[in-house]
């Protein structure tokens, strides 16, 4: 079975010689090349199924490596389960127009931080205006489309309700199937992000964007477009929202299961075409182009891609959740569901591998309103 590590080891050095890369892209590529090879060193592991000892190469633990996210995902999921409230949860997706992609490419630290901030603040502002409550939300950055193109957007998970302005009541939604008007959210999101981008351009914080791109014209074009925000129906329960979103929070641009083959300098991978009724297709790319697209989605070092706003903001999250539970008449946390644990298996038992994951995948949103 072909994986990203094999492709990186085969063409990674050639790519670094022929293409300009950032330090964090070079670090990610080097780590993926070395992951679970002799270069990383080895240790003896005991099979959880038959008890046999076997030699196992160490993993790189780079967050851009598709083989190293399972442990981090499970730890994150366990921590979030303690914060669940007995209310419906909504999934809202904020997307940005293609005209701003150049800023994302050349100034990712600024642009992605402002994208998450604008999405979170738009939810809080519209919630305060329409519902007169303080909402809370978790925002997760996602930068890619199914074909590895640059498609920045934010996935937001929002509890269905919030604290009243005097913090004495929990105010639920009038409808269990409706959160906030998406057109109002999109307008507020556009205002906040365009305002931040204009201020940064004026202050010289976007000087890395080449002059030939026409930054002012790109911002003007984006501000004149209708931006796309859409909300999915509420999840069946709080546990479902976490199971769903946890498959995404620690994912990268492409998983190994989507890579079909690597031969004669060509990479074939599976993707879903939203413009063609979500049909599953195969895409064939030159290996260098495949690596270029993949590395576009490697985030800067120490960039926080999961952020919290409103009553879920880090500084007061524990206090606010305790107050919300008290007002909801559920002062104790919900019992945590029993989860199947990741296990260590020897090569002989690997066919019986057991994980907590299933076949459902979080799909990237469409790149246009028509899709």
Each residue of 293-316: pLDDT tens digit?
999 999 999 999 999 999 999 999
Q: In the chain, what percentage of residues exceed pLDDT 90? A: 62
Q: How many CB atoms lie within 10 A of CB 1?
A: 8
Q: Which domains does the chain have, with CATH numbers?
A: 4-64 (no CATH), 70-253+297-328 (3.40.1310)
For the chain, give the mean pLDDT.
86
Check whether 358 has a pLDDT greater than 50.
no
With beta carbons less than 8 A apart as the criterion, state whether 94 and 153 touch: yes
Q: Give the gyration radius of the chain's Cα atoms.
A: 22
pLDDT band at 95 (very low <50, low <70, confident <90, very high): very high
The half-sphere exposure of 39 on its side-chain side, counting CA atoms within 13 A, is: 8
* Cβ 116 vs Cβ 155: under 8 Å: no
Residue with tokens 């351009």: 201
Contact by Cβ (8 Å): 120, 310:
yes
DSSP annotation of 336 reads P
3-state secondary structure of 265: coil
The residues, ordered by sequence, that sit 6+ positions from 132 with a Cβ below 8 Å of its Cβ are: 164, 165, 171
| pLDDT value of position 362 | 38
Residue 369 has pLDDT above 60, yes or no: no
Arithmetic mean of pLDDT, 124-142? 94
Q: What are the structure tokens assigned to 258, written together?
A: 């989507």
Helices (H), the chain: 4-18, 23-34, 70-81, 101-106, 108-130, 182-203, 215-223, 238-249, 287-295, 317-328
**pLDDT higher than 70, residue 78:** yes
Which residues touch 298 (CB under 8 Å, ≥6 apart)? 22, 24, 25, 28, 64
Residues in the chain, total: 371
Q: Are 157 and 119 in contact (CB under 8 A)?
A: no
Query: Counting Cβ atoms within 10 Å, is residue 164 exposed (0-12), middle (13-18) or buried (19+)?
Result: middle
CA distance 53 to 22: 40
pLDDT at 133: 94
Q: Which residues pair with 164 in a beta bridge?
A: 133
pLDDT tens-place string over residues 233-264: 777 666 677 777 777 777 789 999 999 999 99
Cα separation, 161 vs 286, in Å, equals 48
Residues 6+ positions from 178 with CB-CB distance below 8 Å:
none
Q: What is the pLDDT of residue 105?
A: 94
Tokens 């790149």 label which residue? 367
pTM (predicted TM-score): 0.87
The partner residues of 232 in beta bridges, in order of sequence, read 91
Residues 232, 35: Cα–Cα separation, whole Å = 37
Residue 300's SS3 state is coil
Beta strand 266-273 with 259-263 is: antiparallel
For residue 273, the number of C-alpha atoms closer than 13 Å in the C-beta half-sphere is 9
Confidence band (pLDDT; 50, 70, 90) for 54?
A: confident
């Amino acid at each position: 079975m072909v994986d990203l590590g094999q492709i990186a080891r085969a063409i990674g050095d050639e790519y670094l010689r022929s293409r300009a890369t950032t330090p964090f892209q070079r670090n990610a590529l080097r780590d993926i090349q070395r992951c679970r090879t002799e270069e990383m060193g080895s240790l003896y592991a005991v099979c959880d199924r038959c008890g046999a000892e076997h030699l196992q190469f160490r993993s790189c633990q780079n967050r851009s490596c598709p083989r190293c996210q399972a442990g981090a995902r499970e730890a994150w999921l366990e921590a979030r389960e303690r914060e669940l409230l007995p209310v419906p949860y909504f999934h809202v997706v904020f997307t940005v127009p293609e005209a701003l992609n150049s800023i994302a490419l050349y100034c990712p630290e600024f642009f992605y931080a402002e994208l998450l901030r604008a999405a979170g603040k738009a939810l809080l502002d519209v919630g305060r205006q329409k519902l007169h409550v303080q909402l809370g939300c978790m925002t997760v950055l996602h930068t890619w489309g199914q074909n590895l193109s640059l498609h920045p957007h934010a996935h937001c998970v929002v509890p269905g309700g919030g604290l009243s302005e005097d913090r004495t009541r929990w105010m639920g939604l009038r409808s269990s199937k409706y959160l906030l008007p998406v057109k109002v959210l999109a307008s507020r999101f556009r205002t906040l992000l365009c305002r931040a981008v204009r201020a940064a351009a004026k202050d010289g914080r976007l000087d890395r964007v080449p002059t030939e791109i026409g930054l002012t014209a790109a911002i003007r074009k984006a501000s004149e477009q209708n931006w796309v925000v859409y909300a999915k129906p509420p999840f069946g329960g709080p546990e479902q929202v976490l199971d769903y979103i946890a498959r995404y929070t620690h994912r990268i641009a492409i998983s190994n299961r989507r890579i079909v083959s690597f031969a004669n300098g060509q990479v074939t991978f599976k993707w879903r075409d939203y413009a063609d009724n979500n049909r599953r297709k195969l895409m064939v790319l030159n290996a260098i182009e495949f690596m270029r697209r993949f590395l576009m989605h490697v985030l800067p070092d120490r960039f926080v891609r999961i952020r919290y706003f409103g009553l879920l903001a880090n500084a007061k999250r524990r206090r606010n959740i305790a107050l919300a539970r008290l007002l909801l008449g559920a002062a104790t946390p919900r019992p945590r569901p029993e989860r199947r644990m990741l296990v260590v298996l020897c090569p002989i038992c690997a066919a019986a591998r057991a994980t907590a994951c299933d076949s459902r995948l979080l799909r990237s949103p469409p790149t246009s309103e028509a899709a």
